[in-house]
Chains A and B, each alone.
Chain A
Amino acid sequence: MKSVVKNRTLAMAAAAVGILVLAVPIFAHHGTNISYDRSQAWTSKAVVTEFRYVNPHPQLFFDVTDAKGTVTHWGAELLPNPAQLINNGWSKKRSMEALMPGTVITVTIAPSKAGGTVGLLVKAVNDKGEELVPSGGGPGGPAPAPAP
């Protein structure tokens, strides 16, 4: 029982740190902190239907299938804009190839506070465990903050 409590405390502390760490890059994003609810973030397998490498923000569209086989179509904006993706080593070519329609990935999405099937792409990981189109950690400088 004691170890369960300890583990729960650890998990809660880790979650709190996770939320805070994730929160850092979003403050300056145009409306992100206002529109999306990071406390409700969820993770799921997804099938890419479209990826748009454009300003003001790239967008990922994908399908999620639930346990009953119901397919829901989602759209999500990315934190970084193309300039920041370039800084992170994610050129247009690399990004488009990594997120071709039909690709199965694992996404973490902060859903809109207003409901619906749109959200903020917190993380995308491919079947090799590689994080795709990440928002920070570029060469030669501090992790870039998101653009408008």
Chain B
Amino acid sequence: MRNRLMILTIALVAVLVFSLVIVAQNRGGRGAGANAAPPARDTRPFSPQDIAGIWSRNSQGYGGGGTCRECGDRGFGNNVPPFTPLGQKMFDANKPSYGRALGTDDAKAHPEEHIGRRRAVPPANGTDLYQTCNPQGVTRALIYPDPVEFIVLPDRIIQNFEWTYSWRTIWTDGRQLPKEVDQTRWWGYSTAHWEGDTLVVDSIGHDDRTWIDHFGYPHSDEMHLQERYRRVSYDTLELNMWIEDPKVYAGRWNAEVKRFKLLPKDRVKTPEGWTGLLEDLCAPVEDIEQFNKNIRDPAGGVFHK
């Protein structure tokens, strides 16, 4: 009798855990998913145009692969527009290591997911610049569930991304985006203005070596990204965004909504109590090479002498 109860309990736990895993997989992340019932709304007063502070999509502040409840997953969106011929070529050339493993039963069992989410290969066989700690680019960095600090100055907003400790400048001094870009940038060229309580950020001139998200969706140097930030409660910042990139996609790609949670300034701190974003750099390059040579590459069947 006791054994039967134990089996029943274990089975129940297994079903619950398995459900969580399935949800996490479908969402491309580890969180409970954007469709989960939202937590109680933070009713503290706030100024809708005050977006300064440390925001994080995983709410605990120390980075990682998961996202917090209702924050959206780690993909830009499953509603991928058709590729242009060039776009298809670029997409095929990108070999990501996130998502369901290429060619597996698991990948085949989810035709509802765009193929970009079902073609992961070991990093050793991949083409992700990120695995050698290069800049992620704007969309991917925004989606990445590490904290990002918004520093608001009179003429610009700085986004300081904890992972790689990288700064992006968004100009609010009224300037126009360049008509032509001589040299693309890892973080693009960005301007912003307020439309009511929505901060609208337009950017162009993004380096085409970065990916839209970790599933390896490409973009060209002609991508136009628009981000629309709205602080919907004291602790929640909502981000809607889209890209237009006629070289790569046949139409506008609207992202699934992403949300950030406000972290208290002292939430992230070192063991000795030094608060503020960690200097979470992936450096020096020798450390990365050593890791790839001794662990990551052999794990993918690429052995070095």
A31 and B126 contacting across the interface, CB-CB below 8 Å: yes
Q: For chain A residues 14-38, which have a beta carbon within 8 Å of chain B?
A: 14, 16-17, 20-21, 23-25, 27-31, 33-36
Contacts of A23 in B (CB 8 A): 21
A sample of 24 inter-chain contacts (CB < 8 A) reads A6-B3, A10-B10, A16-B14, A17-B14, A31-B97, A31-B299, A56-B131, A57-B295, A59-B291, A59-B294, A75-B295, A81-B280, A82-B280, A86-B271, A114-B300, A115-B301, A116-B298, A138-B60, A141-B60, A144-B66, A145-B29, A145-B145, A147-B146, A147-B163
A10-B3, A56-B288 given; A31·B63 CB < 8 A: no
B85 within 8 A of A: no
A54 CA to B3 CA, complexed, in Å: 45
What residues of chain A lie closer than 8 Å to B62, measured between beta carbons? 83-84, 86-87, 138, 141, 144
Task: Give the distance in Å from the alpha carbon of A75 to the alpha carbon of B17 in the complex.
Answer: 30
Residue of B nearest to A81 (CB): B63
Q: Which residues 217-234 of B have a CB within 8 angstroms of A?
A: none
Q: Would you call A112 an interface residue if the criterion is a C-beta within 8 Å of the partner chain's C-beta atoms?
A: yes
Contacts A27-B25, A141-B61: A56 and B291 contacting too (C-beta < 8 A)?
A: yes
User: What's the count of A-B pairs with C-beta under 8 Å?
Assistant: 193
Given contacts A87-B62, A140-B267, 13 further A-B contacts (CB under 8 A): A6-B3, A20-B18, A27-B30, A28-B66, A30-B128, A31-B122, A55-B283, A86-B271, A113-B122, A141-B60, A142-B59, A142-B68, A148-B163
CB closest chain-A residue, reference B122: A35
A31:B123 contact, CB within 8 angstroms: yes
A20 to B: closest C-beta gap in Å: 4
Query: Given contacts A28-B74, A33-B101, A146-B65, are A17 and B17 in contact (CB under 8 A)?
Result: yes
Interface residues of B in 150-201 (CB under 8 A from A): 162-163
Taking CB atoms, residues of chain B closer than 8 Å to A108 are: none
In the bound complex, what is the Cα–Cα distance between A20 and B19 (angstroms)?
Answer: 10
Q: How far is the CA of A87 from the CA of B68 in the complex (A)?
A: 16
Asked if A10 and B6 make an inter-chain contact with CB atoms under 8 angstroms apart, the answer reads: yes
Are B298 and A145 interface neighbours, CB within 8 A?
A: no
> B65, A20: Cβ atoms under 8 Å?
no
Interface 1/0 per residue, A89-117 and B, CB below 8 Å:
00111100000000000000000111111
A76 at the interface (CB under 8 A from B): yes
Check A77–B291 contact: CB distance below 8 A: yes
The answer, yes or no, to whether A71 is at the interface (CB within 8 Å) is no
Contact with A along B265-304 (1 / 0, CB 8 A): 0010011000000101111000110110011101111010
Contact A114–B123 (Cβ < 8 Å)? no
